[in-house]
Structure 1
């Protein structure tokens, strides 16, 4: 990597080539992630000027309920990301449409099972000792946004189908159009017509379904003659092995997102919960916004690693990991500095209440440190998804987040009376420990072994609908790379 930075012939050229491939995926993926996340941020920003309690209610729904559901659906979709990416690398494009349909079946059933959670949000929050008034408003809002649950169920499988083939610019354009539509709807329904939470829910439902329908039309409209050949009953076969990888993916990501959910709930138990929840929700929104940049590199490294492992090129997979980590970290440093230098300014974007602004400013430097770690962490997760390590990373998440981060946060927040600052410090310690562990694991990985495992995974976890084939022959190329001949 030092040679990569300092120049030097073939290595520099190799770095430039890999960087180009990285940005071809990462740039549109970043715009897509920012646009889609901004739908929720825009909702929070408009509702923030309706009232503090309304803002707290929407923030809890977004960060607790939708964060939970988003994690489940994104996790289920990550199984598709592993299989589709490795299938592309191996040249098995005919399986992508089948994989996507299987994933849609699984996420659709999951959405059906999660619907009661949306209905009973209010009593659930009260059981978790959240403020009654906030819980009641959150319960009413959650019922109104149930259509978004089913939009998530279709969104992620379709996106992973496109992403695995590096077809991301159309996703970006559609997402930006959905964001523009959402802004217009919020302005009309909340500012002009003053529909309050009902208007915010209607705007979100319309925007998300516009996005999903537009993406689906692109997939089935004849642009993928090999990867999409129409609806097939094969999608209902071999679901068991697909569910296993989907569950492992969902557990990995849910443990990550539930960690932030737990932080919100812990803050809700502090004194003066409206101010504390508002402050930490503002920081969560900004943190997640910055996280969307890193998620572009998460997508890039996942596609590159899965493609190269599927094609049997272990060295290229490892090299892509280095380039993505370095690039994402460099950008993360910029955003870290930006937040650290505006700790008294950025809270005013979301609230005009002085108490909320003051409380949020106290978290500024801790937020900056979290943004720096989150410029590295998602790339490491992308490597895990590309390589199919979801279950192992889930175990790491349990240790770092739930056995270390949350207990420390509770101790500092409640016992030592540090409030939201103490809880955030605990979260930061959990993120740091997880990042260090994943870096150690990735740089000690046997990438040749992972390339061989990718071929095995496509035959077993992907289902048995592929055309019969002979066992792969392994050959050595002049540069020493071992490649699978499928």
Structure 2
């Protein structure tokens, strides 16, 4: 019996790849000679079904801007695709470690009373049933030699999976989820800090500037950033398929197409942002809020082309398995953005450091300094990503600029539109709250801005854990290890509950101090302090919901979570919101 491959290639992406190879035959030569040689563990052992964990490797598409990050359904690579550079080594070590834990390979020497035996619930060697053939004094385990070679690991893995010998432990899954999620948590927090920095600095100028920043951020997210994110998700399929086929130069070609496409889309986005002041004055009750938000968006437009490049460049590197490249860039750009906000926004003109014999002069441009800082950061992000590709890693998929990037856009657009709809629906659900609060009062709008920011910051911890759980469960399901996948799901839910409880305790205990970090206005501080316990109360359920969605994505059933979210975001909320508005006005 042969088990089907876990991969399912996209017909649209396959057609795009075939057309490129037909029109430009020199792209048809595989770049295997330039890539790291993969041992046979990245392939299937002869005569064995396609069930390896390696076959279920996925690249999640991650966006982390706006009120809540969005994770799109994972993209499965086409038949015969390979792991990126270094990916096979990590998969091999995971399989080797699991084989040792389950006594299929000899365990590493360990000291007495090791934690592995304490936490492990796998069956001891003397309790294991005869899996493939009854062993004798001279027969090797599973009828083969015990060897640590890559070929032997692949064979032992497949045989052990078929025999039902592979189990996992809570300890192992906790370590794996922690390893997967730790860099994601830092990345998400750093990228969201690009938005939070403006709210922190402008909030101390008054509640009207704070409300205007919130209103401008809402407009930019819905009409700009969400569009860039949604359209760029087509690269998760196109770049991954080109890389997996061995035609690495096609990855750079897809990148160029997307950059030019997003720059073209920037034209209508720019028209909306340039006229946002006049539009918002007609939408929100306070015309001053609309004017300030319009000024913010007009300056923010300067950085829009750079942000489009950054979103495309992220996918270019992710297709090559370089997920930490964005983290390295943000480790430089996020502190720089915070520094620029400090220099450009706050109105104090000079700080003297007599003991150091120097003065630090600040521009002190006030409100208008915030969008200038964001526009500069959006421009620097792609430049830093380019430097990473040029001097660190990623050039192997770049073949220079070419006129061919202006052709064959149809498949890219057809793949981009569904991603746009999914991301836009997620963003719009939370940004509606900002618009609704502006009808209550400027104080309510400022308070909503702070509460939304706090909730989004705390969400950056359980959400990356859900991404890690999704990837891990997908790997285990792809290896037909349903029992191990159940254990991993339980560990993810326990981790989410712990994080949710910690967030709840933190927000409840600091409810009077946290608002003062964002604003000096006493009315806004009092309102946020009153509502913050309510935000703290749903932290546990928010974390659990995020990880339930992650489990569903790992199982390939993300449509369940999608329909549930749509129902509660747009049906339940639409029923309650008008009642609240009527009650507040009455």
Using the size of structure 2 for normalisation, the TM-score is 0.61
State whether residues 68 and 257 of structure 1, in contact with CA within 8 Å, keep that contact through their aligned partners in structure 2: no
Task: Supply the distance in 2 between the matched residues of 1:384 and 1:107 (Cα, whole angstroms).
Answer: 31
Which range moves more in the overlay, 18-27 or 194-203? 18-27
| Pairing partner for 2:195 from 40, 45, 62 | 40
Task: Supply the distance in 2 between the matched residues of 1:55 and 1:144 (Cα, whole angstroms).
Answer: 17
State whether residues 31 and 172 of structure 1, in contact with CA within 8 Å, keep that contact through their aligned partners in structure 2: yes
| Pairing partner for 2:438 from 254, 262, 268 | 268
Q: C-alpha offsets along residues 433-482 of structure 1, whole Å, 9 cap, x if unaligned?
A: xxxxxxxxxxxxxxxxxxxxxxxxxxxxxxxxxxxxxxxxxxxxxxxxxx
CA separation of 1:352 and 1:221: change in aligned 2, threshold 3 A: same
Q: How does 1:161-172 map to 2 (within 5 A)?
A: 161-172=316-327
Q: How does 1:365-380 map to 2 (within 5 A)?
A: 365-379=533-547
For 2:380, the equivalent position in structure 1 comes to 210
State whether residues 220 and 228 of structure 1, in contact with CA within 8 Å, keep that contact through their aligned partners in structure 2: no
State whether residues 82 and 306 of structure 1, in contact with CA within 8 Å, keep that contact through their aligned partners in structure 2: no
| Pairing partner for 1:114 from 269, 279, 282 | 269
Q: C-alpha offsets along residues 240-270 of structure 1, whole Å, 9 cap, x if unaligned?
A: 3332332212211211111111111111111
| Pairing partner for 2:420 from 250, 258, 275 | 250
| Pairing partner for 1:126 from 262, 266, 281 | 281
Q: CA deviation at 1:379?
A: 4.7
CA separation of 1:383 and 1:230: change in aligned 2, threshold 3 A: farther
- Kindly indicate whether residue 217 of structure 2 is the aligned counterpart of residue 62 of structure 1: yes
Q: C-alpha offsets along residues 182-211 of structure 1, whole Å, 9 cap, x if unaligned?
A: 222222222332201222222112222222
State whether residues 326 and 385 of structure 2, in contact with CA within 8 Å, keep that contact through their aligned partners in structure 1: yes
Q: CA deviation at 1:288?
A: 1.2
| Pairing partner for 2:315 from 130, 155, 160 | 160
Task: Supply the distance in 2 between the matched residues of 1:318 and 1:82 (Cα, whole angstroms).
Answer: 25
CA separation of 1:374 and 1:21: change in aligned 2, threshold 3 A: same
Q: C-alpha offsets along residues 387-420 of structure 1, whole Å, 9 cap, x if unaligned?
A: 8878886655433211222321222x1234399x
CA separation of 1:365 and 1:244: change in aligned 2, threshold 3 A: farther
- Kindly indicate whether residue 569 of structure 2 is the aligned counterpart of residue 414 of structure 1: no
State whether residues 341 and 370 of structure 2, in contact with CA within 8 Å, keep that contact through their aligned partners in structure 1: yes
| Pairing partner for 1:8 from 109, 117, 121 | 121
Which range moves more in the overlay, 385-394 or 282-291? 385-394
| Pairing partner for 1:177 from 332, 346, 350 | 332
Gapped regions of structure 2 (runs ≥ 5)? 1-115, 124-165, 347-361
Which range moves more in the overlay, 165-174 or 242-251? 165-174
Give the number of equivalent residue pairs.
410
Q: How does 1:230-379 map to 2 (within 5 A)?
A: 230-231=400-401, 235=405, 238-270=408-440, 273-297=441-465, 299-301=467-469, 313=479, 315=481, 324-379=492-547
Using the size of structure 1 for normalisation, the TM-score is 0.73
Q: What is the RMSD computed on CA atoms of the aligned residues?
A: 3.6
Structure with larger Rg: 2
Q: Secondary structure at the match of 1:145?
A: helix
Which range moves more in the overlay, 143-152 or 130-139? 143-152
Task: Supply the distance in 2 between the matched residues of 1:148 and 1:176 (Cα, whole angstroms).
Answer: 19
For 1:455, the equivalent position in structure 2 comes to none
For 1:451, the equivalent position in structure 2 comes to none
State whether residues 284 and 290 of structure 2, in contact with CA within 8 Å, keep that contact through their aligned partners in structure 1: no
Task: Supply the distance in 2 between the matched residues of 1:176 and 1:258 (Cα, whole angstroms).
Answer: 29
Task: Supply the distance in 2 between the matched residues of 1:328 and 1:278 (Cα, whole angstroms).
Answer: 30
| Pairing partner for 2:297 from 142, 148, 151 | 142
